[in-house]
Amino acid sequence: MTAVSQKEIITRLKQDLLVWEGFKRTDADKAGAIGMGSIEDHFPEKVFPKGHIHEMISYQPESAVATNGFISAITGKLLGDSGFCVWVSAARTIFPPTLALFGIPPEQVIFADVRTQREALWTIEEALKCEALTTVIGELSELSFGDSRRLQLAVEKSRVTGFIHRNNPRSENTTACVTRWKIDPLESTGHPEMPGIGFPCWDVQLLKVRNGQPGNWQLEWNGDFCHLQPTMLAIPQFQKRKTG
Amino acid sequence: MAQRFMAIAFCHLTTDWMVRRRPELRATPFVLAAPERNRMVIKAVNVVAAANGICCGTVVADARAVYPGLEVFDDKPQLAQQLLKALGEWCIRYTPVVAVDLPNGLILDISGCAHLWGGEAAYLNEILKRLSAFGYHVKAAIADTIGTAWAVCYFGDQGAAIVEPGRQAEALSPLPAAALRLEDTVVEKLRKLGFYQVRSFLHMQRRALRRRFGQAMLDRIDQALGWVKERIEPICPIVPYQERLPSLEAIRTKTGIEIALKKLLEGLCKRLEKEGQGLRKCSLKTYRVDGRQQIIEIGTSRASRNIQHLFKLFEDKISTIAPGLGIELFVLEAAVVEDLPANQEAIWSTTTGNQQALIAELIDRISGKVGEKAIHRYLPAEHHWPEYSLKLADSLEERPATEWPLDLPRPLHLLPIPQAIEVTVRLPDYPPMLFHFQGKLHRVKKADGPERIEQEWWLRKGEYRDYYCVEGEQGARYWLFRLGHYDNATPEWFLHGFFA
């Protein structure tokens, strides 16, 4: 009897801790599975954390584009028909028509093309405070711990989901972001005898997730997230990183 | 009080305006013509052309036969009215009641105004002098009634005439019948009957006149003589959206400026709300004690009359005002306003209308801080050339007119300028085997293509591009193209984008 009640107390305390850490969840937030399959099991309460800041890290232009593709795919799931998204960048190379391929109606994206990193950070924070937006995507290289906390405080009030894509950061410093991802391109699958290129494939690494389990997955994007079978993979060994 | 009216006639209104805009036309004879029953008919002549005997209503071909050096421009039908309205608004400095008298005149109700200029003669001269200085050829007359003033102005001998009070009949007597503003048929009938001047029928029996020429003619006579009042429709100038706040003591602190700005915004937004308008551009002008003026300006992406939002936009810029010894006058002016229908109070704050308003406010804040050029939203444009396949949206409400094309592969990252690369190709028109980009060698494992995109020859010239999608060993996917064909020795290759 006491053991059961102890367990209950511990779960309740864990829930409380989540709330104190900024994991305020409305029922609407809990409801939506966004079709990421087994990845979602690694998040706290097995739901993709909306209304938080997610951090993506990339070093090469090739992985930068894979990262943006992954962000776009998630945003496309969150956005729906009437949502708006703000994309803040100091050196934008996104070609808007292609966003339609990832489920984002390109006319629902507002691009803020700023000049400096400082302006980008200010714009991201202003956008995150705007409750009418669904997601905010910011391309920054450096994000200090203090800045990330400012952004986290902004979203706790407005419940906007933020993605910070850090291309070529000087260091992978600690931030207040709820997750940290690293996305690399993978060779596209398809029939080996057939010529041509298939759907985009990514090696998705969830390096950090607060109150969740880090993990590593191989995904294919064909309008939905599709997990690749390990046997179909032909990844060079050096690309695999031990995480977790 | 006795009423006094002034009629101003612009003899060459539209042509004088053209000379004002293009001074080189001053000495050339030119006319304005418009098509009428498949012929070009002259609608207005300038002074030089009129001196050469060309008059309105002539066919252009005939006029050219008379005077070969004649220049012809197109006549804009609304131009005269617009000019008269603008001139009428300008004339409000002389009297509050000004009416447009088409096709080429103005009527001013000058009752009780002339003494401010030292009498009617000085008043008349002042107006004529100022209008002549603009380059207009004008005539004017002052009389007790609109009818007499008009008649003397258009048909009198002098350029500036004043009819003494109560002397309408005398002034009208020597003038032709047309001076009474009668219909053309009536004037023609009078001429046939031998009534060349007003005096020959002015004192005839009213019954006889009514029977032959109708009531309208009697009304005109009565109006000219002042027996019946005539109404005019005065021009109502648009009051500028402006608020002024003079301060008793010079203001030197930021808080003071903020309070002043809030007060001004309240006044302005109240008026905007009453008139169903919202502002797009607004400026705050501060007048310092030492005479220096400073302006801060804001713009909004969509009409707004939200005080908090507008204040926030101004707030960032208040720090650029240097109050010096103090500011004594604030002027807030909305330079550009747009219709903004009054919206119903939203019960749910998540309606799309409210959402768009919030986003518009966010965009205003960003463009206020970063610059107006920073914000982009794209819509599809029907072009295949990748750089031209999208266009900027004008407003948040604008929806795409056509579908986004998804049938052909397009990269997620498109480089603004294609980067030159070196390639090795097995055969012409085959995708490359390997390519060098930024000093790195990429071996191509898989490839798609080519997809040929031609320049749109009706828009611009240039070589076509043959696009290939290629996948490197590491799984990275690129969009390459070859410019032009293989006829000349080595075609150029470029990297244009990265696929996700």
Domain CATH number, residue A71? 3.40.50.300
Q: Which one of B377, B410, B472 has the shortest CB-CB distance to A111?
A: B377
Q: Stretch A223-239: mean pLDDT, rounded?
A: 61
Mutation to test the B interface, candidates A60, A65, A115, A183, most B Cβ within 10 Å: A65
Specify whether B319 is located in the same domain as B183.
no
Specify whether B219 is located in the same domain as B258.
no
Which of B 271-310 lie inside 8 A of A, CB atoms? none
The pLDDT, as a whole number, for residue A226 is: 82
The pLDDT, as a whole number, for residue B349 is: 46
Give a yes or no: residue A206 inside a domain.
Answer: yes
Cβ contact B15:B30 at 8 Å? yes
Cβ contact B41:B77 at 8 Å? no
Give a yes or no: residue B305 inside a domain.
Answer: yes
Sort strands B432-437 and B413-425 into parallel, antiparallel or unpaired.
antiparallel
> In Å, how far are B74, B364, B432 from B351, measured between CA atoms?
51, 20, 53
Closest CA to B254 of B169, B356, B173, B323: B323
Give a yes or no: residue B385 inside a domain.
Answer: no
Q: Which one of B399, B448, B497 has the shortest CB-CB distance to A95?
A: B497
Closest-CA residue in chain B for A239? Answer: B474
Q: Stretch B203-216: mean pLDDT, rounded?
A: 84
- Which residues lie closer than 8 Å to B218 by C-beta, 6 or more apart? B206, B209, B210
Specify whether B421 is located in the same domain as B460.
yes
Least confident range of A183-192, B166-175, B336-345: B336-345
Give a yes or no: residue B355 inside a domain.
Answer: no
A236 touches chain B (CB under 8 A): yes
Q: Stretch B420-427: mean pLDDT, rounded?
A: 88
Residue at which a domain ends, from B209, B237, B265: B237
DSSP string, B291-338: S-EEEEEEEEEEEE--HHHHHHHHHHHHTT---TT-EEEEEEEEEEEE
- Is pLDDT above 50 for B348? no
Report ipTM for this prediction.
0.83
Range of the domain at B434: 413-499
The pLDDT, as a whole number, for residue A94 is: 92
Q: Which one of B362, B400, B497 has the shortest CB-CB distance to A126?
A: B362
Give a yes or no: residue A80 inside a domain.
Answer: yes
Range of the domain at A87: 50-239
Indicate the number of domains in chain B.
3
B380 touches chain A (CB under 8 A): yes
Specify whether B309 is located in the same domain as B223.
no
Give a yes or no: residue A3 inside a domain.
Answer: no
Give a yes or no: residue A188 inside a domain.
Answer: yes
The pLDDT, as a whole number, for residue A204 is: 92
CB-CB neighbors (< 8 A) of B399 in chain A = 107
B441 touches chain A (CB under 8 A): no
Closest CA to A143 of A118, A126, A110: A118
Q: How far apart are CA A184 and CA A64, in angstroms?
A: 8
Give a yes or no: residue B440 inside a domain.
Answer: yes
Give a yes or no: residue A31 inside a domain.
Answer: no
Least confident range of A108-112, B239-243, B257-261: B239-243
A121/B50: higher pLDDT: A121
Specify whether B200 is located in the same domain as B320.
no
> In Å, how far are A40, B476, B478 from A233, measured between CA atoms?
22, 15, 20
Residue-wise pLDDT tens digits, B8-33: 988 888 888 888 888 888 888 888 88
Q: Stretch B390-399: mean pLDDT, rounded?
A: 83
Least confident range of A175-184, B217-226, B260-269: B217-226
Q: How far apart are CA B168 and CA B371, in angstroms?
A: 65
Give a yes or no: residue B353 inside a domain.
Answer: no
Mean pLDDT computed over every residue of chain A: 84
Indicate the number of domains in chain A.
1
- What is the identity of the amino acid at B95? T
B390 touches chain A (CB under 8 A): yes
Residue at which a domain ends, from B277, B309, B339: B339
Specify whether B142 is located in the same domain as B110.
yes
Give a yes or no: residue A9 inside a domain.
Answer: no
Q: In sequence order, what E strands does A59-118 have?
A: 85-89, 109-113
Specify whether B131 is located in the same domain as B227.
yes
Specify whether B102 is located in the same domain as B222.
yes
Task: Categorize the per-residue pLDDT at A233 as very low, low, confident or very high, splitting at 50, 70 and 90.
Answer: very low
Q: Stretch B395-406: mean pLDDT, rounded?
A: 84
In this prediction the pTM is 0.64
| A65·B410 Cβ contact <8 A | no
> In Å, how far are A85, A99, B107, B138, B382 from B401, measured between CA atoms?
20, 17, 50, 52, 10
Residue-wise pLDDT tens digits, B78-97: 888 888 888 888 888 888 88
Closest CA to B284 of B346, B330, B229, B217: B330
Angle between helical axes of B206-213 and B215-225 (0-180°, round to 10): 130
Give a yes or no: residue B364 inside a domain.
Answer: no
The pLDDT, as a whole number, for residue A44 is: 80
Give a yes or no: residue A235 inside a domain.
Answer: yes
The pLDDT, as a whole number, for residue B1 is: 60
Q: How far apart are CA B395 and CA B479, in angstroms?
A: 32
Give a yes or no: residue B368 inside a domain.
Answer: no
| A86·B362 Cβ contact <8 A | yes
Residue-wise pLDDT tens digits, B271-302: 888 888 888 889 999 999 988 899 998 888 87
Specify whether B165 is located in the same domain as B261.
no
Centre a 10 Å sphere on the Cβ of residue A153 and count the other Cβ atoms it contains.
14
Q: How far apart are CA A152 and CA A53, in angstroms?
A: 6
CB-CB neighbors (< 8 A) of B415 in chain A = 93
The pLDDT, as a whole number, for residue A234 is: 47
A223 touches chain B (CB under 8 A): no
Phi, psi of A218 (to 5 degrees): -110, 120
Specify whether B261 is located in the same domain as B223.
no
Q: Which of A15-29, A115-129, B227-241 has the highest mean pLDDT?
A: A115-129
Q: How far apart are CA B409 and CA B467, in angstroms?
A: 10
Give a yes or no: residue A203 inside a domain.
Answer: yes
> In Å, how far are A75, B168, B319, B363, B394 from B358, measured between CA atoms?
20, 66, 25, 9, 17
**Greatest CA span in chain A, whole angstroms?**
65
Q: Stretch B265-276: mean pLDDT, rounded?
A: 88
Residue at which a domain ends, from B187, B211, B237: B237
